[in-house]
Every structure is written in structure tokens, then in C-alpha cells.
A and B are shown apart, each in its own frame.
Chain A
Amino acid sequence: NAGVMQNPRHLVRRRGQEARLRCSPMKGHSHVYWYRQLPEEGLKFMVYLQKENIIDESGMPKERFSAEFPKEGPSILRIQQVVRGDSAAYFCASSPPLAGGGSYEQYFGPGTRLTVT
């Protein structure tokens, strides 16, 4: 069973360009989460999605950031008009459907390191 896959692993963008980060959850997992890790910091929650639904986007910046998890294909985190402050590692995690609030941990992908020049 393949783990959570993220691509690209490294992405370089100039200021003002768009960044698109992809995440394929583990097989059988229908819940996807995106986290951002700034240098020397812990991971910060951004958004939680199920297929075709955004469940919790309380950690997403109000502007320039969007996320989707379509019925088919990977989840996409999109950052428009990137700025230097967007440089960070972006991690995707997935979990199986929950039953009664089960204790499922989240399985993390290897992350995408975004560098904005």
C-alpha cells in the first residue's frame, strides 16, 4: 500500500507566479489535510477536505490560497501570486473515514518545499 504521495518535492517560483501542490492520499483514505511548516517551526493546520468538500479551512489565509479535493484525482493546494513569505514546506496528510471519532492518526506525505525567489 503506497503511502501519501506529494509532488513536486521541490518547487521554485518567482514572486507573483502561481504554485500548485499535489497530494494523493493513501488508498482507502478519503480525508486530506494540508499543513504548512515555516523554517524552525512546527506544522500549522491549513485545511481539511473530503472528496468534493472543504470541511475546515480555518487555517487558510483569506487571500491567494485555495484547496480542492475533486472526485477524481489528487488534492490540490493552490497559491496565487506567491510572495517570499510563502516559502515553506507544505505537508499533506490523509486518514481513513472516521467511525465514531476513532483515534486514527494522520499519515503524512514527504512534503513539498516551496521556495519563492
Chain B
Amino acid sequence: AQTVTQSQPEMSVQEAETVTLSCTYDTSESDYYLFWYKQPPSRQMILVIRQEAYKQQNATENRFSVNFQKAAKSFSLKISDSQLGDAAMYFCAYRSRNFNKFYFGSGTKLNVKP
């Protein structure tokens, strides 16, 4: 079974600074999808960004970007110009191309200091 590891239980960043959240995964598949979800205190899961494994170009969504290293099975999330509203739990997730269930990491709690 695929596993997703987030080795940073908690991180802090100063407002307007940049922070990088780490994620590694283990799979024998060559085609899959990776996601970052944000979970604020409301507990609603919000999609932040996604990456198709067959695409070499790293995905970007406004202040959020990823560093996808397929050979290293690494998928980190960079948040630029951090804002107070970015404070939340962040979960990395893996989805096989042919199977619909997601595998989630244990999450990283991001604190943003004013």
C-alpha cells in the first residue's frame, strides 16, 4: 500500500515570509496524482494545489507552489508571502491514477505569526 509521510508535525512562519512544508511518499506506480489540502479550525478540507506525476512542470496556484521530485518521491509545498489566513493543518495526499482512494499524511500544523 502507498504511504505518505509528513515529517514536520508543526511549523511556524512570520507573516509575509516564505515557508516550505515537506512530504514524501512511497509507491511502485509510475502514474499518480498528488495533492495538498488545507484544514482550518473549521475542519473543512480545502484543496490547495495538485500535481500530475506525468507532468514535469511544478504546479503553481498564486502564492502556493510545489517542488515535485519524482525520483526522490518528494512533494513539498511552498507558501510565499504568508498570511494570517494560511494558518491551518496541511495534509499531503496521494491518489493512484487507476484507484480512487486517497492516502493522506499525518499533517503539518502551520502557525503564522503577525
Residues of chain A at the chain B interface (Cβ within 8 Å): 31, 33, 35, 41-45, 48, 55-56, 58-59, 89, 91, 93, 95, 98, 101, 103, 105-108, 110-111, 113
B43 near A101 (CB under 8 angstroms)?
Answer: no
Please name all residues of chain B whose beta carbon is closer than 8 Å to the beta carbon of A42 when the two chains form the complex: 4, 6, 91, 104-107
Listed by A's residue number, 18 A-B pairs whose Cβ atoms lie within 8 Å are: A31-B100, A33-B100, A33-B101, A35-B102, A35-B104, A41-B106, A41-B107, A42-B91, A42-B106, A43-B45, A44-B104, A89-B43, A91-B45, A93-B45, A101-B98, A108-B44, A110-B42, A111-B45
Complexed CA–CA distance, A58 and B101 (Å) = 10
Chain B interface mostly: loop
**Within the assembled complex, what's the spacing in Å between the Cα atoms of A44 and B98?**
19
Q: Does B84 contact A (CB under 8 A)?
A: no
Name B10-58 residues within 8 Å CB distance of A: 33, 35, 37, 42-45, 47, 50, 52
Q: How many A-B residue pairs have CB under 8 A?
A: 60
- A106 to B50: give the CA distance in the assembly, Å: 11
Which of B's residues lie within 8 Å of A, judged by CB? Answer: 4, 6, 33, 35, 37, 42-45, 47, 50, 52, 91, 97-107
A56 to B96, alpha carbons, bound, how many Å? 14
Across the interface, do A111 and B44 meet the contact criterion of CB distance under 8 Å?
yes
Nearest chain B CB to A61's CB is how many angstroms away? 16
Within 8 Å CB of B101, what residues of A?
33, 45, 48, 56, 58-59
Q: Which residue of B lies closest to A56 (CB)?
A: B101
Closest to A111 in B: B43
- Known contacts A41-B106, A45-B101; A103 and B33 CB within 8 A of each other: yes
Q: Are A103 and B52 touching (Cβ within 8 A)?
A: yes
With A and B bound together, what is the CA distance between A101 and B50 in angstroms? Answer: 15
Q: Is the CB of A56 within 8 A of B100?
A: yes
B44 closest partner in A (C-beta): A110
A48 to B101, CA, bound (A): 7
| Chain A: CB-nearest residue to B55 | A103
Asked if B98 and A43 make an inter-chain contact with CB atoms under 8 angstroms apart, the answer reads no
Q: Which residues of A contact B106 (CB under 8 A)?
A: 41-42
A34 smallest CB distance to B (angstroms): 10
